[in-house]
Amino acid sequence: MMYCPKCGISLPDDATVCDACGARFDPIPDPVFDPPKSGKGKKSEKTTDVKDAFRKWVRDQGMFCLIAKAVAVTVMTVYLLIAFVSLITLIVQGYPGGTIFTDFIQKLLAGIIYGVIIWLLSDAVLYLGKLYEMKKKETKN
């Protein structure tokens, strides 16, 4: 059983036209009646908004900054892995306690700091590039 998205009346699953209000629609597998203003519609709108924003963000980045950001994320991930591997190794080897977590946190922090620095540098390059293009347009006009 499904419900008409327009008037909410219950209809057979394979219905493509509402018996009550005459609305045409594709059968929806979700049996919950969703009025147009419900949270579900808003959610999907939001996710498309986020996707659009992400696509725009990627476009704005340009190849260089995208690569730089990929490197930043990779550096963070690698350091995170190194930190965890060394933590596990130290625990397995029965390394005397106390320094284990300092070592782990140091590696973790190093990864985050390097990642953030690379990320911010790529943003700075992006910003300077935009500034440069704006100046170029200004001098042309």
* Residue ranges in contact with Zn ion by CB under 5 A: 4, 6-7, 18, 20-21, 23
Task: For Zn ion, give the closer residue by CB, 21 or 105.
Answer: 21
Distance (Å, whole) CA 135 – CA 125: 15
Q: How far is the CB of 31 from Zn ion (least distance, A)?
A: 15
Least Å distance, CB 43 to Zn ion, is: 23
- Only one residue has tokens 């490197």, namely 71
Q: Give 21 or 78: the residue with its C-beta nearer to Zn ion.
A: 21
Residue 39: CB minimum distance to Zn ion, A: 21
Name every residue whose Cβ is closer than 8 Å to that of residue 75 and which is 6 or more positions away in sequence.
111, 114, 115, 118
Question: Closest distance between Zn ion and the C-beta of residue 4, in Å?
Answer: 3
Q: Which lies closer to Zn ion via its Cβ, residue 18 or residue 83?
A: 18
Dist CA 36 CA 4 (whole Å): 11
Residue 102: half-sphere exposure toward Cβ, Cα within 13 Å: 5
Q: Please, which residue, 10 or 99, has the CB nearer to Zn ion?
A: 10
